[in-house]
Amino acid sequence: MFKKGFKAAHFMSSHKVGTVVDIVYEKNNQLTIGGTTSSVVWIILEFEDNNQKSKEKYRSGDLIRIFDWKGLNWIF
């Protein structure tokens, strides 16, 4: 589950970390084999590179959450 402000990255490019700025729920009226409708959750990430901001849209299942461990130096 993602919330606005979380850090996340696509699972194939985890070095490119962005911030969740919007979550879009898209309902599909197409029926599946089991007789239920499916819905897709899109997450919009904002990346900042050299003072340039860009936004990209990903399916929520393709993203991984990135944790910031800077404040936990005492553990290591």
Taking the domains of the chain in order of start, what are their residue ranges? 7-67
Mean pLDDT of 6-27: 93
Confidence of residue 38 (pLDDT cuts 50, 70, 90): confident
Contact 40, 26 (CB under 8 A): yes
Residue 59, Ramachandran bin (φ over 0: left; ψ between -120 and 50: alpha; else beta):
beta
Tell me, what's the pLDDT at 56? Answer: 95
* pTM given for the model: 0.77
